[in-house]
Amino acid sequence: MAPASGKWETRVEQAFLSFTPWPDGALSLSAGKFVSPFGAYNQRHDSVSDPFVRPPLPYDYRTMICSGLIPRTNDGFISWKNRPEEFRPGGAPPIWGNPYLIGAKLSGSLGRFDYRLAVVGAAVSSEPSEWDRVPGREQAPSWVGRAGVRLSPELHVGLSFDRGPYLLTSAAAPDAYGYGGYDVDDYPQTLWGVDVEWNRGHTQLRAEWIHDTWEVPNVLDSPVDTSFFVELSHKPIPGLVAAVRWGRMEFGEVRRSDGTREPWDWTQQRWQAGLGYRFTRFLEARAEYQHNRTAGTLPEPDDDLLAFQVRWEL
């Protein structure tokens, strides 16, 4: 669940109807609100198989792409990374945590193969306030899919794709000075992802790689970021799980008006160490230490995080 400013908040995370015409699970049709089919992390987050409190780097780190703010000039956008106190808070991650979006989905499995294909109302980078958009009502929908194959009993590999507009209509509308008037459908976010999972005994190895392309108004080149994370977890005794995760995000170069090129954001790296224990069927506790570092000629302050979580399930 995305954090909120108030003391209490209620939200319907998932609510959908599903129809499976055949008992073999080859085809299932769902409609309503469900987690994005992109990648593998969204399908296991905040569950017994997730030993961490916080998401991996690509699902959490805010880039200099601001869905609610359009750069007026190409060079101005490239300089945003040097003013993180102004632009980082409004930036969008490649994937906003675990987006629960409204739409329709086809899914199923055929032998060693499995698939998910959906049309939803918002991009995977959209803020939680945009997740209840109905596909096609205000702007073009997002198309997302994933295909996977089990190469062996221990090894599973998946390929994901997502494309849809990420700009807010409020940002693209003309302002009092006549600036703006953009069609948000002309500025999509496009992602490709590869995920790998390997299991043997009490040990699991997971990895995801994501290539993310943004179309940004008034910017000469399409900003690109590539990110990945590798995660190793082990259960030494019943109920106890220990894990470590390493993630990295790098940003492609874009042209300034004088022809020189430079990255549009600073390289980010994150280490996470997690420990979890399941006391009973209903009670579980987790602890995580997170070590973040930013590289660049004008780096942002180092950022470390210690987090705890207690879960009680009915």
**By C-alpha distance, which of 146, 128, 142 is closest to 187?**
142
More confident residue, 222 or 171: 222
> What pLDDT is recorded for position 51?
86
- Please indicate, yes or no, if residue 250 is contained in any of the structural domains: yes
Q: What percent of the chain has pLDDT over 70?
A: 95
What pairs with residue 305 in β-bridges?
290
* Residue ranges in the chain assigned as alpha helix (H): 41-44, 74-78, 84-87, 169-172
- Cα angle 250, 253, 42; round to 5: 35
With tokens 């930013």, the residue in question is 294
- Please indicate, yes or no, if residue 17 is contained in any of the structural domains: no
- Report the predicted TM-score, pTM, of the whole model to 2 decimal places: 0.91
Tell me the pLDDT tens digit for each residue of 182-203.
Answer: 899 999 999 999 999 999 999 9
Question: H or E stretch including 228?
Answer: strand 224-234
Q: Is residue 7 pLDDT above 60, yes or no?
A: yes
> What pLDDT is recorded for position 9?
72
- Please indicate, yes or no, if residue 191 is contained in any of the structural domains: yes
Annotate 257-273 with DSSP letters as a single string. TTS-EEESS--EEEEEE
- Please indicate, yes or no, if residue 212 is contained in any of the structural domains: yes
Q: Is residue 42 pLDDT above 80, yes or no?
A: yes
With tokens 């022809």, the residue in question is 259
Q: Is residue 141 pLDDT above 60, yes or no?
A: yes
What's the rounded Cα separation, in Å, for the pair 190 and 212? 6
Q: pLDDT category, 300, cuts 50, 70, 90? A: low
> What pLDDT is recorded for position 305?
93
> What pLDDT is recorded for position 180?
75
Q: What is the mean pLDDT of residues 212-236?
A: 96
Tell me the pLDDT tens digit for each residue of 61-78.
Answer: 999 999 999 999 999 999
Domain range for 263: 29-312
- Please indicate, yes or no, if residue 224 is contained in any of the structural domains: yes
> What pLDDT is recorded for position 178?
66
- Please indicate, yes or no, if residue 8 is contained in any of the structural domains: no
Contact 267, 256 (CB under 8 A): no
Q: For residue 91, what is the domain's CATH number? A: 2.40.160
- Please indicate, yes or no, if residue 13 is contained in any of the structural domains: no
- Please indicate, yes or no, if residue 247 is contained in any of the structural domains: yes
Question: H or E stretch including 117?
Answer: strand 113-120
| Domains held by the chain: number | 1
> Residue 225, Cβ neighbours under 10 Å: how many?
26
Tell me the pLDDT tens digit for each residue of 245-271.
Answer: 999 999 999 999 999 999 999 999 999
User: In this structure, what DSSP letter does residue 234 have?
Assistant: E
